[in-house]
A = this chain, B = another copy of it.
Amino acid sequence: MNKSKINVGLIGWGTVGTGVSRVLINNFDLIRQRTGIILELQKIADRNVPTMRKGVNIESSRLTKYPDEVINDPNIDIVVELIGGVDDAKDYILKAITNGKHIVTANKTLLAKHGQEIFSAAYKNNISVCFEGSVAGGIPIIKALREGFAANQIQAIYGIINGTTNYILTQMSDNVTDYQQALAEAQEKGYAEKDPTADVEGDDAAQKITLLTSLAYGIDMPLENVYTEGISRITQKDIQYAKELGYVIKLLAISKFSEGKIEVRVHPTMLPERSMLANVSGVFNAIYVVGDPVGGTMFYGQGAGQQATSSAVVADIIDISKGILNNSPIPVPSCWHPDNTVSIPLRAINECQTRYYLRLIVVDKPGVLAQIAGILGQHQISIASVIQKEQHGLNTVYLVMLIHEAIEAKMQEAIRHIDELEVVKDKSMLIRVENDL
């Protein structure tokens, strides 16, 4: 193997950055053996004065407070951006690109919002930008969509791509805890932030499915068009009823192509308990991809964390290095290519069609079921099954229905009417059901 040296600079020495520096140093020989490439970690920049605190064996002369010292270093071939956030990261990346540096980033938010701008600059400057670590940690799903499934018309993507919410839902299901307790535990274990909004309300998953959608269908998917709904209203009762009906509740990021339109949505979803995705527990991630001709496939692994994400980041570094040594940068993804002319209309959430789980708390008196069934019928919504159990000593009962496939707009209209009924206490709970998995 011809040996060749590539110099790497790192911006951001937090959790993932530390992992990346460790892999570059510890697996240095292994990588050289496999690929013939000598990956030299030249410099690390971190806002906080970086010290040797992390147990990574690197000389202190290679540490700096100033990202510019990485970006402007003429010896550095590849800049790895791991500071997160949008504005600073974007500035650094664009400056580095202008300086002729190739880029590795795990910054989903940046790419979901500014992918087009970043890749325009990359194209103009003949630069590789890779971002495997931005979705699903160590799982090589970006590479699968870009290369492994390059011959496929992708038909659907179903992803469990937020570890925090999957941990919470798994806790609720396995240990019969309620949402608040499961969240508290996730926070204690470091799986959820103090302010958990971005995870539990689905925004993190929305950014990731935006990237996957762009890659899968070759369009620049606008983040703001992803319908997003979190898990914070899911109760232990819902988890139990789902079980009784043979389902599991997961926060699913869904991207489907059908009848010439794409629909992209993130929301709690009921899955058949025997489906592969239903068995993905704890902080793990999995992405189920359906393509023609490949059929249904699934990729599973740790979706975040120092170790898993550093595997993806260093794989990107190796890919780009090969490109540098062969004088052929990684192609700009067609979704963000300046010559891209593909345009596929989006299906708004109101036009989507799914099955539903509907859970109501109603007053326990005659005629209530008839009233509710009547409203559904008026909206051409058909009931597949009903559970109502006697609840001794209470004035209200839980009424649970599985609804046959219906159009979202009609369903929402019916729910609005149902929620206005005097016999209906509390806001109804609607969970979409996916049976094709």
Interface residues of A (CB under 8 A from B): 1, 19, 22-23, 27, 30-31, 33-36, 132, 138-140, 143-144, 147-153, 218, 274, 276, 279-280, 291-302, 306-308, 310-312, 314-315, 317-319, 322, 326-328, 331, 334, 337, 339, 342
Q: Is the interface of A mostly helix, strand, loop or mixed?
A: mixed
Q: How far is the CB of A80 from chain B (nearest CB, A)?
A: 12
Cα distance, A139 to B139, chains bound together (Å): 13
Q: Assess the B301–A150 pair: CB atoms within 8 A.
A: no
A308 touches B334 (CB 8 A): no
Q: Check A334–B35 contact: CB distance below 8 A.
A: yes
A33 to B23 CA separation, bound complex (whole angstroms): 36
Q: In the docked arrangement, what's the CA distance between A314 and B153, Å? A: 12
State the CA gap A326–B280 with chains docked (Å): 40
CB distance from A22 to the nearest CB of B (A): 8
Tell me whether A294 and B308 are in contact (CB under 8 A).
yes
Which A-B residue pairs are the 6 nearest by beta carbons? A140-B148, A151-B314, A297-B301, A326-B328, A294-B311, A138-B294
> Do A150 and B300 have beta carbons less than 8 Å apart?
no
Residues of B near A334 (CB, < 8 A) are 1, 33-35
- Give the nearest-CB partner of A321 in chain B: B150
Q: How far is the CA of A317 from the CA of B149 in the complex (A)?
A: 12
Report if A319-B147 is in contact (Cβ < 8 Å); known contacts: A302-B295, A308-B295: yes
Copies held by the complex: 2
Considering the chains assembled together, what is the distance between the CA atoms of A35 and B307 in angstroms?
32
Residues of B within 8 A of A153 (CB): 27, 30
A315-B1 contact, Cβ under 8 Å, with A19-B293, A138-B293, A296-B301: no
Cα of A30 to Cα of B155 in the assembled complex, Å: 13
B318 adjacent to A151 (CB under 8 Å): yes
Most buried by B among A138, A153, A292, A322: A138
Q: Which residues of B contact A151 (CB under 8 A)?
A: 23, 27, 31, 310-311, 314-315, 317-318
Collect the chain B residues with CB atoms within 8 Å of residue A276's CB.
276, 279-280, 300
User: Distance in Å from the Cβ of A368 to the closest Cβ of chain B?
Assistant: 40
Is B315 a contact of A147 with CB atoms below 8 Å? yes
A205 to B148, CA, bound (A): 22
The CA of A295 and the CA of B138, in the complex, are separated in Å by: 8
A152 to B298, CA, bound (A): 21
For A299, give its contact among B33, B132, B293, B298 (CB under 8 Å): B298
Kindly list chain B residues whose C-beta atoms are within 8 Å of the C-beta of A312. Answer: 148, 294
Q: List 10 A-B contacts (CB under 8 A).
A: A27-B151, A27-B153, A33-B218, A33-B334, A138-B293, A150-B315, A293-B307, A294-B311, A295-B308, A297-B300
Complex CA gap A292/B139 in Å reads: 13
Query: Chain B residues near A152 (CB, 8 Å)?
Result: 27, 311
Query: Inside 8 A of A143's CB, which chain B residues have their CB?
Result: 140, 143-144, 147-148
A147 to B322, CA, bound (A): 11
Q: Are A339 and B1 in contact (CB under 8 A)?
A: yes
Instruction: Identify the closest chain B residue to A34 (Cβ).
Output: B334
Tell me how far the C-beta of A241 lies from the nearest C-beta in chain B, rounded to whole angstroms: 22
Tell whether A35 pairs with B300 under 8 Å between CB atoms, given A138-B294, A319-B147.
Answer: no
CB neighbours of A331 from chain B (8 A): 35-36, 322
Cβ-defined partner of A293 (8 Å) among B23, B297, B339: B23
